[in-house]
Chains A and B, each alone.
Chain A
Amino acid sequence: MQKYILAHKKELTIINGSLLLLALLDHFFLTQGKIVPFALILSGIAGVLPIAIQAFQSLKVKIVSIDVLVTIAVFGAFFVQSYEEAAVVTFLFLAGHFLEQATLSKTRKAIKSLTEMAPEVSLKKNQAGQFEEVPIDEVHEGDILLVKTGGKVPVDGKVLTGSGYVNEASITGESKTANKQIGSAVYAGTILENGTFQLQAKRVGEDSAFGKIIELVEEAQDSKSSAERFIDKFSKYYTPAVLLLAIIVGLITKDIELAVTVLVLGCPGALVIGIPVSNVAGIGNGAKHGILLKGSETIQDFSKVDTMVFDKTGTLTVGAPRVNKVISNPEINENKAISTLVSIEAESDHPLAQAVVKTYPDTLKYPVNQTQVIKGGGITATVKGNKVILGNLQLIKTNGIKLRPEEMSQSKELEAEGNSLIFMAINNQLALILGIKDQLRPNVKTELASLKKLGVKNLVLLSGDNQGTVDQIAQQLSLTEAKGNMLPEDKAMYIKKLQEEGQNVTFVGDGVNDSPSLATANTGIAMGNGTDVAIETSDIVLLNSDFSRLAPTLRLVKSTSHNMLQNIVIAVGVVLFLLSSLLFSNWINMGIGMFVHEASIIVVILNALRLLNHRLRR
């Protein structure tokens, strides 16, 4: 019976509302009030039924919920024959509830659309060697699975046969396709846009990279800051206190109508959901754009940041060195010289050689003979009959090759700018000098300027690199401070020192070797992708290592934090306003009180919804 009534809450609300409407029509147009009382009584009964059942259920587990307050108030209204109040209050309470539900699911939409990307089925190879569709729960490590064009990669794994183009937006936050060949790693939740492949399952379900992202976001949206836990505790005692207050008022004034009005006005409507709705909307919007915020506390901490500490390699810089400057001998054809260079370097796995090869991916290559590696110096080889010496300055000098004075000064200059140098001579004549350098990420400077504009006071660079390189970057980017030669532990110590000076410190790193700093800082931001460990050690993850999301992230957390504050002010303000109106004026009654309450709940939800439209890109 109870279940039946609750299952038909919607119908009861409609009956409750239409009877109320009938009574109103009747009052003004029809029989001038003959059937009004009956319509109102029936309306009140239809409305109070589901509320009373919920009240009963919560009393069973010793909780004085809002339903209890409203039920007592409605019974009180019946008792003093104020049927109109009973009908209006129940209708507003029930209808408000449906409206809340509808708007609440909007605030949760962003995260829902993420979790719905999780794969549910998979084509698994059975013992007969055939592929059959099975629920994802039945896929285990080592299983062989088939993915066809348009299909979702069901697990993290390795491609065994076939190939294709995969959209990895769910992992990287960036809608780019990646080419997958035999041996490539593929990730659950990504979509095979073109091609077919078989893969071997490595990590399944919650263990997959995507599963971890979902778990993180799901936990984050319901995580609570200390302020929120306080409100939760407060509201646990608040409702019984209102009940007690109403009883006292009733006993003193002997005015039941006043007592039940206190009950309705005291409902803690918007207070309990004010923060969670802002939280879910803010975190949801971030997740949609590849910004994973680990919860309410992170939002509070990062919104108050004073000092941001950056790692260098992979954070301020791209982390992949490239040829920065080429000085060529005017007597030698530069294109041919570079082809010669790349042909030789392609055979080496030295980091500088790799940097050269990656800088010129499309260069014409020549056959290389008689390659000889000189340890700690470079390479000598024969290309198209020419003798080539390639390596550092020392190697060039020991082979008796002379640098002209201007070449000497230019190379000194490059070195001072933080470049590593490669020299190449063809037939004992210097052909090329290359400066190789890790590049700053594009837009780092404007991004740092935006952070300052958002109220970050100090920008600090801590790096394991030498002080010269670090100083040079600090000057280029107008940083507050820059320290070189720092080990991971030194960085964490330095952050601790800043915190002891009373600063709120955020650390931004690539997350690979900076876990001590990520953990020590008030907020740790990892520039990673969804597939690495950074996701566990940091508070915020910027998927796809996108530095240009840093300022938008700060803007989002500030807005979210403000939004929470606004919601608390609205919620507390409404209760104070209603109770003081009751004390100092005479226009207030149960119906208006309930209306204001329900309206305030809708207002805080709508306020939170604004966060979903918060623009993260300029």
Chain B
Amino acid sequence: MMKKAVINLEELACPTCMQKIEAATASVKGVDKPSIKVMFNASKLKVNFNEEEVTIEDIEKAIEDIGYPVIKSKVVTI
């Protein structure tokens, strides 16, 4: 089952953070890579993922591991 997540991050300020977050999210298995969208001004990440392969916690962890704290996530079924 594919899920769509909207992840609120702490305010993004650095220019290269978008690239980093995108790469970190893409490295998680089960994530739909073309759907990844890092929103610089809104400080949000939108991504679709397959819940049989990966959990939202795994994705959150990948982002926090590169130094960007997650504030909250919202997951809906698509």
Specify whether A and B are partners. Answer: yes
Name the one of A63, A101, A235, A279 contacting B23, with C-beta atoms under 8 angstroms.
Answer: A63
Asked if A280 and B41 make an inter-chain contact with CB atoms under 8 angstroms apart, the answer reads yes
Asked if A101 and B11 make an inter-chain contact with CB atoms under 8 angstroms apart, the answer reads yes
Contacts across chains A and B counted by CB atoms under 8 Å: 77
9 additional A-B pairs beyond A60-B66, A65-B20, A272-B18, beta carbons within 8 Å, are A54-B67, A61-B20, A105-B11, A107-B41, A218-B39, A219-B39, A222-B40, A235-B16, A280-B41
Enumerate chain A residues within 8 angstroms of B18, measured Cβ to Cβ.
232, 272
Number of residues on chain B facing chain A (CB within 8 A): 20
Asked if A57 and B67 make an inter-chain contact with CB atoms under 8 angstroms apart, the answer reads yes
- For chain A, the bracket of interface size reads 35 or more
Q: When A and B form their complex, which 10 residue pairs have the shortest distance between CB atoms, in order from nearest?
A: A272-B15, A61-B23, A222-B39, A101-B13, A65-B16, A57-B66, A280-B41, A221-B41, A61-B24, A58-B20
In the docked arrangement, what's the CA distance between A235 and B66, Å?
A: 20
Asked if B23 and A62 make an inter-chain contact with CB atoms under 8 angstroms apart, the answer reads yes
In the docked arrangement, what's the CA distance between A87 and B39, Å?
A: 33
Asked if B66 and A65 make an inter-chain contact with CB atoms under 8 angstroms apart, the answer reads no
With contact pairs A61-B23, A61-B66 given, residues A268 and B41 touching in the complex (Cβ less than 8 Å): no
In the docked arrangement, what's the CA distance between A198 and B69, Å?
A: 40
For residues 96 through 134 of chain A, which have their beta carbon under 8 Å from a beta carbon of chain B?
Answer: 97, 100-101, 104-105, 107-108, 111
Interface residues of A (CB under 8 A from B): 2-3, 6, 53-54, 57-58, 60-63, 65-67, 97, 100-101, 104-105, 107-108, 111, 218-219, 221-222, 232, 235-236, 239, 268-269, 271-273, 276, 279-280, 601
Name the one of B16, B24, B40, B66 contacting A66, with C-beta atoms under 8 angstroms.
Answer: B16
In the docked arrangement, what's the CA distance between A9 and B15, Å?
A: 17
Asked if A63 and B19 make an inter-chain contact with CB atoms under 8 angstroms apart, the answer reads yes
Q: Which residue of B lies closest to A272 (CB)?
A: B15
Q: Mark B7-25, 1 if CB is under 8 A from A, else 0.
A: 0000101111011100110
Asked if A65 and B19 make an inter-chain contact with CB atoms under 8 angstroms apart, the answer reads yes
Could you pull out 12 A-B pairs where Cβ atoms are within 8 angstroms? Answer: A54-B67, A57-B65, A61-B23, A61-B24, A63-B19, A63-B23, A97-B14, A104-B13, A218-B44, A222-B40, A222-B42, A272-B16
In the docked arrangement, what's the CA distance between A271 and B18, Å?
A: 14
Asked if B20 and A2 make an inter-chain contact with CB atoms under 8 angstroms apart, the answer reads no
In the docked arrangement, what's the CA distance between A258 and B42, Å?
A: 39
Enumerate chain A residues within 8 angstroms of B66, measured Cβ to Cβ.
57-58, 60-61
With contact pairs A57-B65, A218-B39 given, residues A63 and B20 touching in the complex (Cβ less than 8 Å): yes
Name the one of B15, B20, B39, B65 contacting A268, with C-beta atoms under 8 angstroms.
Answer: B15
B27 within 8 A of A: yes
Asked if A6 and B13 make an inter-chain contact with CB atoms under 8 angstroms apart, the answer reads no
In the docked arrangement, what's the CA distance between A222 and B23, Å?
A: 18
Asked if B16 and A67 make an inter-chain contact with CB atoms under 8 angstroms apart, the answer reads yes
In the docked arrangement, what's the CA distance between A3 and B70, Å?
A: 13
Find the residue from A222, A276, A601 having the highest chain B CB count within 10 A.
A222
For residues 13 through 69 of chain B, which have their beta carbon under 8 Å from a beta carbon of chain A?
Answer: 13-16, 18-20, 23-24, 27, 37, 39-42, 44, 65-67
With contact pairs A60-B66, A61-B27, A276-B40 given, residues A100 and B20 touching in the complex (Cβ less than 8 Å): no
Nearest chain A CB to B78's CB is how many angstroms away? 13
In the docked arrangement, what's the CA distance between A272 and B20, Å?
A: 13
Enumerate chain B residues within 8 angstroms of A239, measured Cβ to Cβ.
16
In the docked arrangement, what's the CA distance between A67 and B67, Å?
A: 13
Enumerate chain A residues within 8 angstroms of B39, measured Cβ to Cβ.
218-219, 221-222
Enumerate chain B residues within 8 angstroms of A276, measured Cβ to Cβ.
40-41
